[in-house]
Amino acid sequence: MSNTQVYDQTTKLLHWLIAALIYCLVFFHPSSEEGHAQPHKWVTDIHVTLGTLLLALAVWRVIWRMEYAHVPPAPLAEKWQLKSRQLTHFILYLFMLLAPIGGLLISLTTPIEVNIFGLIEMPRLINDEAIHALMRSLHGFSADVLLYLGVLHVLAVLYHQVWLKDSLLKRMLM
């Protein structure tokens, strides 16, 4: 496999860090929906901190992809697969940005104290429960879409590995 078929180290590092962060965010999910107890403050703080880190890494990844990263085409990919990959990645990047931005907007409208990295206290800029509920809904929707796209992404990799046997996964591992 030639170097032109492998992603660069920065792209691979950002890919796996972002994937790990998304799964950590699911684990440290401060749900206070109906039927759930109010989350512990530390769970909320961890979630907000990881979400802020996700936003920073997602911005870095988008800039890196636009400016520096060469995205190798899949081996023997058909035109519809290339278009599908482009669209899926665009939507994936969009929701990698929207979900944490929505989370930060929740932090600006929540009645509880929220800290980022235990150092930065988020100010409560908007004291309106309706806006807070809207921000929670938008964040929840965008986070759900991001998770479903992640599952679709994994299924596509499995399709390439098991069905097409084109070693697509090696490009992100080697």
The residues near 99 (Cβ < 8 Å, ≥ 6 apart) are 51, 54, 139, 142, 143, 145, 146
pLDDT of residue 3: 40
pLDDT of residue 75: 60
* Residue 115 backbone dihedrals phi, psi, to 5 degrees: -120, 145
pLDDT of residue 74: 62
pLDDT of residue 4: 44
Query: Torsion angle, CA of 65/160/19/124, rounded to 10 degrees?
Result: 70
Residue type, 84: S
Among 28, 55, 38, 42, which residue's Cα sits nearest to residue 118? 42
Block means of pLDDT (10 residues each) for the chain, 174 residues, are 68 94 88 60 88 96 88 69 84 95 90 83 88 92 94 89 83 79
CA quadruple 122, 125, 128, 133: dihedral sign: negative
Instruction: Give the domain ranges of the chain.
Output: 3-173
Gap between the Cα atoms of 81 and 67, Å rounded: 23
pLDDT of residue 24: 93
